[in-house]
Structure formats: structure tokens, C-alpha cells
A and B are shown apart, each in its own frame.
Chain A
Amino acid sequence: MAMKRFLFCLRKPPHSGAYVQEMLDTILITAAFDQTVALLLLDDAVFQLKTHQQPPADMKDTAAIFKALELYDVTTIYVEQESLQERGLLAADLFLPVQVCARKDIAALMQQFDVLFPG
């Protein structure tokens, strides 16, 4: 099978309906097909990985569902530095280890991938 490098660029906050869950399904399927998969969290998507979420019983802790990424060997997660700063967050506030990337370097990062998957 062909191999491509996928960068999933996530921008939405948690609890955008089923959007985060359905994006995660796409990411996991892509990884299950042995493609190279990385994530880039931009804007309010940085909240998707925020620790200490306390959702009501009928909503999911979105950070916890990203735990499944490790099972599929998806360990490359980039976070835009300015998106964190604008929201008063540090990389340490996130549930998984991430690589912080400055806004000015995002375009060069994207050029390393074959498919940019907006989400």
C-alpha cells in the first residue's frame, strides 16, 4: 500500500458536538493503515488535550479519549505556541507530551507532510 505523511490540523474546542470524537476516528483509522500520522493543535483545539477536565456524566473527557493515540503509535503531537499563550496554558497543562511550535514555523512544518487534513 502507498504511504503518505498525514498532518491532522485540529482547530475546534472540545464538545463541538460529535466533531472531536469523529475526527479521532479518522486519525486512528489512518494510523491503523500504517500511515505516518502527526497532529497539530491550533486555536481552541489546545483545550482538547487539557488535563483536569470535569465534564458532566453524559459528556466525555476529550483528553482521555486521546489516550487511544498511543495504542496506534501516534506520538507526534505539535501545539502552536501562540495558541497556548493566548489561552493562558502551558504544555504541562496538556494530557500527552507535545512539541511546541512557534506560529512563524507552522508553514515550514506543514511542508513536511503529503496530506494536510483539516479538522
Chain B
Amino acid sequence: MKFAIQINSSPYHANSGQTAYQFACAALAQGHQIIRIFFYHDGVYHAFRYAMPPDDERQFSQCWTTLARDHQIDLLVCISAAQRRGLLAADEARRQGKTDNDLAEGFRIGGLGQLLEATLAADRFLVFG
């Protein structure tokens, strides 16, 4: 089955991102396909490259980076939600005359049109958050 997933809450506000991650791992293990994970609202906080939790806590952006690398999953961060919250990808930062590169490896910036495209292509669309 083809899944599209949206994550709406930040790692430290709710556990829904963690639930989504566990769901994604379980679905992939059973041979399902995840066509896109879209980070929206406070979900964009999962994508910060420089989140530095203590060593005994889960490093969320690293988990996603690894998942994306191992399974070629498209991790898409909404540009307008990201910019509201101070997450600047390198090319957007350059455009604004800044030097930031806030987006963790494996994520890319996109828009709501790509979320919609994923909901149309998927058999199931799940929202966590």
C-alpha cells in the first residue's frame, strides 16, 4: 500500500512525530511504500539541522535523515511554515542575504502543492499531530 504522511507537531510538544516515525518504520518493514512525509505547522521543528538534545535523548532530525537515506523517502518541509519559524534552507538564506543552512540532511523544502500531489497518489493519507 502507498502511504502519504503529514506531521504537524514539534518533537518536544507532542509524541506524534515519534509515533509517525515508528509507523513509518513498521510500514516499511512490512513492504509498504511511503511516498512522501510532509512536515507542516510546528512539524517543521523536526527538520532543524542544529537541534542539540542531550545525549540520552532521541535526536529526531538524525532519525529522519537515516530513514530517508536507507529507504529513499521524500522528506518535504513546507516553505511558508518553515520561514515563519526561522528555518532557512541554504538557498533561501542566500536569497535573503543570510548564511544559514538550517535544514538537516535528507530533508528538502517544498510547498502545499506537493502535499496535495502526495494525497492524490497515495492509497492512504495519515496525519500525525
Q: Could you tell me which A residues sit within 8 Å of B by CB distance? A: 1-2, 4, 6, 18-19, 22, 25-26, 29-30, 33, 35, 115, 117-118
Bound complex: CA of A118 vs CA of B115, how far in Å?
14
Given contacts A19-B41, A117-B127, A118-B127, contact A35 B80 (CB under 8 A): no
If over half of A's interface residues share one DSSP class (helix, strand or loop), that class is named, otherwise mixed; here it is mixed
Which residues on the A side are within 8 Å of B41 (C-beta)?
18-19, 22
A-B contact count (CB 8 A): 35
The residue in chain B whose Cβ has the minimal distance to the Cβ of A23 is B41
Bound complex: CA of A115 vs CA of B6, how far in Å?
13
- Contact across chains for B119 and A4 when beta carbons are under 8 A apart: yes
Bound complex: CA of A35 vs CA of B113, how far in Å?
12
Selected A-B contacts with CB under 8 Å, 10 pairs: A22-B40, A22-B80, A25-B112, A29-B111, A29-B116, A33-B116, A35-B120, A115-B119, A117-B127, A118-B127
Closest 8 CB pairs of A and B: A29-B112, A2-B120, A118-B127, A33-B116, A115-B125, A30-B116, A22-B41, A115-B119
| Bitwise interface map of B from 97 to 129 toward A, beta carbon under 8 Å scored 1, else 0 | 000000000000001110110011100010100
